[in-house]
Chains A and B, each alone.
Chain A
Amino acid sequence: MSLIATLARLEAVSTGRARPAATVRHRRLSDRPLVFVPLTTAGEAGAPLGALAGTDRDAPRLLVVPQPRDRDLRFAFLAELSDVVLPYVDSYAESVEAAERTETDPETGKRVKVEVELCADAPQLIVPSHAGVEFVRLLGRSMRFRRTVEQDPEAPYPAPPRVPLLGRWLTHFGERARVPGSSLLLAMTELLARHWATGQSGLEDQHLGALLAWIDPPAGETGAEAALRAELAREEGQLVCPPAGPATDPAFDNKLLAPAIERYDRARTALAAAEDGLQADDRLGELTAAERQIHDLVLSRTLPTWEKVWAGIDLLRALPEGAHVEERWTRDRWSFTGHRDRVLAGEPPQPRRDDAVTAANKLATREREQARLEAQEALDDPLVMAGRRLAGEAFAGEVVDVVMAYSEGKRPSPRPLVTVRTDDRPHLGERAKVYRSLGGKPQSAEFAGYEGEGLVVLRILDKMGRGKEPEAGSVPETGDRLCFTLFEHEQRGGAKLPDPEETPWTHGGPPGEAAPETPDTVTEEDVL
């Protein structure tokens, strides 16, 4: 954490209210995000207990698994979830615009432009916390290898038709969430913590209720008091502000949920043992009541979180969007379009473990996107740039002198020398390259030396046109206030990796025959 962020936290402590950590919004917020508030069963992997999901703040869809250990009920839940998520995803898959992409022509080996489709917008999933992101990945993993009756008539316990597809989409969302700066799947706590500094530690910021309490405390209360209440206050032994999940509070599990599930199990056994129609009717009534109770319990734990996620969305919408967010969102759209095409082309689900080539590519992408994100956030947001200036990676100042000079050579080009007065202390090495933004494009300059205390002389190198005289407006003028960075504004990817077929065996290639992934083994324990 930079000293500026620390200072913001300390200010928050003393003012009792979160302080801005960003002046613009650094992530895309869709006009119609799908909010997903899942709950899971303690101790089980991938056994959802229920969820609230939907795009309409006032009409969330409640999904509940009354007995999380029952495979059929779990499948019913997942089928319902796919009814919510897949139509939403599909609604973005249809509207496309034409775009160009450079591809290597397989015959000539040349780089050519190809016209391709790009989805005009992309879906966006918002979960309450980072644990929710992990849960989306886990759900994706648990579903994408399932077999439906159509795929494999022999499969024991076939999954409902669209469940494996939902698994592939959730896997894609989960995978994309690991790319820095992407917005396909967002965790509300991370979003809020990126834009506000609270008076508590980063660890405590993972509690959505406490985080919101700091950012927007109720009237007459400080953030610290409200956050404490959100964390700890209990009524009749239950947390007033339930955890944002997917894990539930143990007290809730033990005091409320366990008896309700027990009642449900009893009612189910009784119904199965019913001897005649009349008795069955009665017992069905009891079963429905038991189910109703579990529904109410799940709703009572997810609805507060649902409201909070939307409150967070409101807070974030009040911030103007950063200038480069659109560009990063376009990358998300490419990623979405790419996965849509893979699904349409009938490719198999994402493998359990990436092969070496894919893993290397993913890592390279994440590193490049991380560097891009850091550069773009600084350019979009003076507060982030302040942090870079403090770290000596950028400097701002006023131009005090411009001396025209030319390069040596056959065709002299303009290489004006610009003197900037700055209070910052950049770490400038000899002939270090610096960049400034000129009409959205980076103009580079070279450090030529110090002329005195706080006077930096720079030699402008490019973006001045082809002529002997620089184009109007391309050279700084005396009195201009400029900000130069020591980091590059646009990230060049490293050397491109060879195609999988060309990869030597020392680096995990070339790939062997693609073996279809087998579905997960089914155990007795999954069924009651």
Chain B
Amino acid sequence: MDKAALAGALGSPSAFGQSQFALTRGNAFEAKVKADGGAELLRLVHARLDPAAEPPHEAAVPDLSATGPEVRTARTALALREATGAPGTWTLLDHPMLALDVAGSPAFLEPDAVVVHPDGSWTVVEIKSFPMLDGSADPAKVGAAARQAAVYVLALEEVAARLVDEETPAPRVRHRVLLVCPKDFSNLPTASAVDIRKQRAVTARQLARLTRVQDIADSLPEGVCFAPDLPPAELTAAVESVQAAYAPECLAACELAFHCRDRSRAAGAVTALGRPVRAELGGLTTVDDVLSAARGESGDPDDPAVAALRRAAALRAEALAAAGRDITLATTGVGVAPCR
């Protein structure tokens, strides 16, 4: 489903997009890393992950191109089997295709590269265009890359499990992935091994816990349709029928976040102000509930959350009175910025 189109039809278009400068730069960097049959890339894998192995003087780079994701997945599995069955050689799989079962429906994944070591183990390679400055990169971006690589590792493990037969054990998928980034302000690649065991465990657990798509579909009323060309009111009602738990973190991840935020705000949900806020307020979930409890108009005074809220409200009022003024009045009449 095209969530961006859906968000547009709902009147809260998403704000995602990628600058063509970033795209060009990212592609140019990846091409540079993989140039010459991946010589530089394999050198980095050898240096960072497997220095004991034979240096990769030449490597097999099987052709994985095919039409359709299923065929490409099959070719990838075949290439992996062949590479694993040829010990002592390095193999670089450029843009392989992997399949992973997500909530009961297959998702196709395309890692930047997978390297098969001479000992038959597999390594996921992530090529990113954010810089590694003096040996360290933006932790948020590295974290995102590690989570992404963890998904690839899980998918590779499924492929590996299918390669088992009487003679051969399953090939090992390494839990240290290689993150390749530009070095400092240059375009030269540098790399770092990232341990993704934790991300892998978290992702595996989340995947196992996901409600199956089929179950969600079954819970929907008969005849629900999400076609973006429906009248907005009907469409809104259709989207409403799927439960969503909006939190501000959604804004960075989901095309429908602005829509969910509107709904969440309209419902007065306190989670719209952040998950920690929700956690603090106990059983009170809407803005009006909280404020009326704080004013003493509702709520059970023996409830610790309500009692704390009333004390907070009293202390706040006292402090503002002590400061002797209501500051909101002091802020009017300041220059107005042009885009308002």
Q: Give the interface of A toward B (CB within 8 A).
A: 1-4, 6-11, 13-14, 17-20, 23-24, 41-46, 138, 141-142, 199-204, 209, 212-213, 215-216, 218, 224, 226, 229-232, 240-242, 248-251, 253-254, 257-258, 303-304, 307-308, 310-311, 314-315, 318-319, 352-353, 381-383, 385-387, 389-390, 520-526
Q: Is the CB of B248 within 8 A of A241?
A: no
On whether A45 and B130 interact (CB within 8 A), knowing A10-B291, A201-B274, A386-B319, the answer reads yes
Which residues of A lie under 8 Å from residue B273 when comparing CB positions?
6, 9-10, 13, 199-201
Is B287 located at the chain interface by the 8 A CB criterion? yes
21 contacts between A and B (CB under 8 A): A2-B312, A4-B312, A6-B280, A6-B281, A7-B290, A7-B309, A9-B277, A10-B291, A13-B273, A201-B272, A202-B274, A203-B251, A212-B337, A226-B340, A248-B19, A254-B20, A304-B337, A311-B336, A315-B334, A385-B319, A386-B316
Candidate in B24, B28, B273 with the most chain A CB atoms within 10 angstroms? B273
Q: Is the CB of B274 within 8 A of A41?
A: no
Is B22 located at the chain interface by the 8 A CB criterion? yes
Is B231 located at the chain interface by the 8 A CB criterion? no
Is B3 located at the chain interface by the 8 A CB criterion? no
Which residues of A lie under 8 Å from residue B28 when comparing CB positions?
525
Chain B interface residue number, banded: 35 or more
Shortest C-beta distance, A140 to chain B (Å), equals 12
Which residues of B lie under 8 Å from residue A248 when comparing CB positions?
19
Shortest C-beta distance, B304 to chain A (Å), equals 11
| The residue from B21, B258, B290, B334 contacting A314, defined by CB atoms under 8 A apart | B334
Stretch of B77-85, B113-121, B320-328 with 4 or more beta carbons under 8 angstroms from chain A: B320-328
Q: Is the CB of A216 within 8 A of B319?
A: no
Q: Is the CB of A241 within 8 A of B340?
A: yes
Which residues of B lie under 8 Å from residue A241 when comparing CB positions?
337, 339-340
Q: Is the CB of B18 within 8 A of A250?
A: yes
On whether A23 and B332 interact (CB within 8 A), knowing A1-B276, A42-B21, A201-B248, the answer reads no
| The residue from B133, B135, B288, B323 contacting A382, defined by CB atoms under 8 A apart | B323
Which residues of A lie under 8 Å from residue B15 when comparing CB positions?
231-232
Main secondary structure of the interface of B (DSSP, over half): helix
A141 to B185 Cα, complex, angstroms: 10
A257 to B338 Cα, complex, angstroms: 21
| The residue from A41, A203, A216 contacting B248, defined by CB atoms under 8 A apart | A203
A231 to B262 Cα, complex, angstroms: 13
A23 to B324 Cα, complex, angstroms: 9
Q: Is the CB of B331 within 8 A of A14?
A: no
Is B129 located at the chain interface by the 8 A CB criterion? yes
Q: A42-B19, A43-B24 are in contact. List 15 more A-B contacts (CB 8 A).
A: A2-B312, A10-B273, A10-B290, A20-B328, A43-B22, A138-B133, A202-B248, A212-B340, A230-B339, A310-B335, A353-B134, A383-B320, A386-B312, A386-B315, A521-B183
Which residues of B lie under 8 Å from residue A20 when comparing CB positions?
320, 326-328
